[in-house]
Amino acid sequence: MRSCDVLVIGAGPGGLAAAFSARKAGAGDVIVLERDRKAGGILNQCIHNGFGLIRYNEELTGPEYAARAISEASDSGAMILLSRHVSDIRKENDGSFSVSAYTKDGIEVYRTKTIVLATGCRERTRGNISIPGSRPAGVFTAGVAQNLVNIRNVMIGRRVVILGSGDIGLIMARRLTLEGAKVMAIAEIMSEPTGLARNVSQCVQEFGIPLYVRTTVSRIIGKRRLEAVELSDLDRDGKVIPGTARRIDCDALVLSVGLIPENEVAQTAGVRLFANNAVDTDRYLQTSIPGVFSCGNSRHVMDLADYVSEQGELAGRNAVHLINDQDMESWDEEKSNCMKKGFPEEGSVTCTICPNGCQVVWDEKAGTFSGNRCRRGARFAMEERSNPVRTVTTTVKTMAGDGPLLPVRTLQKVPKDKVVELVSELRSVRVEKPVGNGETVFSTDIEGNHITVIATSDCGE
């Protein structure tokens, strides 16, 4: 049996930050238990950029953000143990906790003074939303589609319909388009997209993908393999309007229909949950069980990994404050979901420099921009008017790593109209030997400018 001051369940951004901050706050032994074979959580398959703008003041991809978080936790002295599936939590008579975890070698038991739950969330499936029709192959949740395309090198289809406009679904619309698929439509039951405005702008509108609001998939068509879906309009009460059904031929349907906090382990401790499976905590992130804290998407689904990390840091610190009988710190709930969502404003440029997603508008008469909260927003909008450029993120094939793909990005920004061309060129690249995060894997010239493509994760030994 191992003993520790703080035990963190989950090695995603929240759990890693909790472990790091607990050690920084003076905790003795800190242990992180992760059920997967690799720390970092969902970040490892999120190869797109946009992470770290708040926490690290720089734009990173998901794997790059994960690598930093893992290094922070490990360098602080926290012990990260992988392939540990926690099964239950028991409170002992002395106020400590016993935590059991399955491993390939059997059951391990840990004794800890405090616990931080950072178990993340899971996707709502077809079963959760009850779409009528047959049950053919070709229906995926957005996260599963992301894993297949970005990690396993499996293309899910060539003609794709997406139900729901959550951020993962919007990002996958762009990703599938860059990989050569045609996204036939995105259907959203609400009157506005539910994802961030910056993702609507740069992942959907930029690629001319149709996005229909107050629309749903009313039927799935196909026997062994998906052949088509039926889209129908919805009235203001969310009911299908008769006579509006139209068939869209497709071979893949991606569901981006919401997330459910993952709290089965929390229930074994008797932690009080809300009806939506989120954890009920006080302002110090402590649950109904004293000594058990919760952070990130297991507590309440959040928009940004940066805020998940911030919340994890507070949970880790407060766990140590509780042990030391010190005053705990309060969480600012405004940080959870404060970015602009829905359609970008008409005639505006959605700034992507930071998560605020400012809607910047050019005034022809005055010759000035408005709507930006900082000067960088005005500069971005000016660039968008004259010479729009993008950081390209994709994958290349590899013979050196554990999997078939290596995530990569460009060091230099690429003209927007050359992005598809560059991604197509990178499909023929193969990495034959081990490379480290940040090392060059490919270079080319685009319109007289040298473009370097670097690995965003370690590959091989």
Q: How many structural domains compose the chain?
A: 4
- Same structural domain, 253 and 129: yes
- Same structural domain, 8 and 113: yes
pLDDT of residue 221: 97
Q: How far lies 285's CA from each of 113, 259, 321, in Å?
A: 16, 20, 12
- Same structural domain, 308 and 412: no
Residue ending a domain, choose from 257, 287, 305: 257
Position 341 in a domain? no
- Same structural domain, 364 and 305: no
- Same structural domain, 60 and 184: no
- Same structural domain, 131 and 250: yes
Position 365 in a domain? yes
Closest by alpha carbon to 293, among 281, 308, 278, 305?
281
Q: What pTM, to 2 d.p., does this model score?
A: 0.95
Position 214 in a domain? yes
pLDDT of residue 337: 59
Position 199 in a domain? yes
- Same structural domain, 253 and 159: yes
**Which parts of the chain register pLDDT below 70?**
335-338, 461
Strand partners, 451: 444
pLDDT of residue 261: 97
DSSP 286: B
pLDDT of residue 401: 78
- Distance CA(284)–CA(286), nearest Å, equals 5
Position 36 in a domain? yes
- Same structural domain, 112 and 182: no
pLDDT of residue 363: 82
322 and 114 Cβ atoms separated by less than 8 Å: yes
Closest by alpha carbon to 52, among 70, 68, 34, 74?
68
pLDDT of residue 4: 98
Domain of 364, in residue numbers: 349-386
pLDDT of residue 362: 83
- Same structural domain, 419 and 398: yes
- Distance CA(60)–CA(456), nearest Å, equals 9
- Same structural domain, 67 and 18: yes
pLDDT of residue 338: 60
End-to-end CA distance of the chain: 32
